[in-house]
Amino acid sequence: MAVLNITDDNRKLTDPAEIRDYLQGIGLDYEQWEPSHPLAEDATPEEVLEAYSVEIETLKQAGGYVTADVINITPDTPNLDAMLNKFNREHWHDEDEVRFIIAGHGLFHINPKNGGPVVGIEVGPGDLLVVPRGTYHWFDLCGDRRVRAIRLFQDPAGWTPHYTGSSKEQGYVPLCFGPAFVTA
Ligand SMILES: [Fe+2]
């Protein structure tokens, strides 16, 4: 379940429809997906992709994505901090960033081009987020330092981040405040 934080306005949204509408207003797509059948925690990437094959196919058609894979990040992932440091500064890329969360959590910050306030969007299991190409944003893991997600790409080679060098991310604390972390 997603949580949207607009720190500058002291606003927090947890209703999925409100989150979807707000993100749509700044050009991002947000959806919630259900698997076509229950998935075991240790489901293979193939099983994960199969369980969401209808949604993936629909999204591929709509967005011109040609490949889908499953990424798995845990606290034990080698060179985790070096990898995260590539994405936790404000950047953009030439491709959409498409993530559907299977397990764990992630925290995206979006710096809208329309001049609106920076938005923090925490995503968890069942959440799909599409960050369009050219969007200024940055990414952090949450306290569980775990995320398993389906990714879709327009170019099978993937993308490389372009940094804005704004240091905008330094004004926002990369902490997650969703239900899973309030009780932790
Ligand atoms: Fe990115």
Q: Taking the domains of the chain in order of start, what are their residue ranges? A: 3-179
Closest CA to 19 of 112, 100, 127, 98: 127
Residue 7 CA to ligand 1 centre (angstroms)? 21
d(C-alpha 83, C-alpha 62), whole Å: 30
Q: According to the model, what pLDDT value does residue 184 have?
A: 41
Query: Would you say 125 and 102 are in contact if contact means Cβ atoms under 8 Å apart?
Result: yes
Q: What is the pLDDT of residue 182?
A: 56
Mean pLDDT in runs of 10 for the chain (184 residues)? 93 96 97 94 96 97 96 96 96 96 97 95 97 97 96 89 96 83 52
Cβ(142)–Cβ(75) below 8 Å:
no
Q: What does R_g of the chain's alpha carbons equal in angstroms?
A: 16
CA 161 / ligand 1 centre spacing (Å) = 6
Q: Which CATH architecture has domain 3-179?
A: Sandwich (2.60)
Please tell me the distance between residue 183's alpha carbon and the centre of ligand 1 in angstroms: 29
pLDDT recorded at residue 179? 66
Instruction: Check if the beta carbon of residue 150 is closer than 8 Å to that of residue 52.
Output: yes
Q: Is 1 helix (H, G, I), strand (E, B) or coil?
A: coil
